[in-house]
Amino acid sequence: MQDYQHHWKDGTPVHLPLGKIVCIGRNYAEHARELNNPVPDEPLLFIKPSTSAVYLTRPLDVPKDRGEVHFETELAVLIGRPLSNASASEAEAAILGYGLALDLTLRDVQSQLKSKGQPWERAKAFDGACPLSPFVPAEKFTRDNIHFTLDIDGQRQQTGDVGDMLNPVVPLIAHMSCHFSLLPGDVVLTGTPKGVGPLKSGQTLSLELNDLLFVETKVA
């Protein structure tokens, strides 16, 4: 049974239900290029279900029989107010907290789906496909000064900064809300920078968000 619940960094629960996880693809130009994908003209949106969420602090149990499983480190935004056709100011006011996520992707499956022009859900929405960190209250951050890193076995693998996003966080959330309502407890994933790659059993992943959050996990 799934037992994930949103938590703050200090371990106290966030008293909101786990909702959907709304994602954007190719929000960093260099990541699009590293996978030989075109940079989209408008946000490329997809959704992970609540059943994909697991604790990032626990060992990552990834599928073993569906090809390579790639990590994609992303800034996660916890939504605290209902949003529909929101303005930028409404979107910003709805940001309750920031954390980190891994958008785990069955890369071989995704490549097959893309070649057929089919949706990505089989590659992106499986159980455990969205490990989430605890969250840090939004007031601890300056909106334009948010950055994160991923190290694997002590080697820097990914570095992300909101200044490099093609679609910045607040306009992105407002745009999403024009296509489907966002509810308290939903999470927005904001895209991954370059440096993605396959996970391997026994690896240690260390993730840091500004100087406010540090999370370490292992691949089972």
Task: Tell me the per-residue pLDDT of 21-74, one tens digit each, with 9 for 90 and over.
Answer: 999 999 998 876 777 777 788 999 999 999 999 999 999 999 999 999 999 999
Q: Is residue 127 part of a domain?
A: yes
Contacts 24+ apart (CB under 8 A), 116-120: 119/46, 120/25, 120/46
Total domains in the chain come to 1
Q: Is residue 13 part of a domain?
A: no
Q: What is the pLDDT of residue 96?
A: 98
C-alpha distances in Å from residue 115, one per residue of 142, 158, 175: 40, 27, 28
Range of the domain at 205: 21-218
How many Å apart are CA 189 and CA 192, to the nearest integer? 9
128: CATH: 3.90.850.10
Q: How much of the chain, in percent, has pLDDT values that exceed 90?
A: 90
In degrees and rounded to multiples of 5, residue 149 shows phi and psi of -140, 155
Structure tokens at 8: 């703050």
Q: Which whole number is the average pLDDT over 140-155?
A: 96
More confident residue, 17 or 31: 17
Q: Is residue 7 part of a domain?
A: no
Q: What is the pLDDT of residue 1?
A: 42
3-class state of residue 194 by DSSP:
coil
Tens-place pLDDT, residues 157-210: 999 999 999 999 999 999 999 999 999 999 999 999 999 999 999 999 999 999
pLDDT at residue 218 is higher than 80: yes
Q: Is residue 104 part of a domain?
A: yes
Q: What is the pLDDT of residue 2?
A: 65
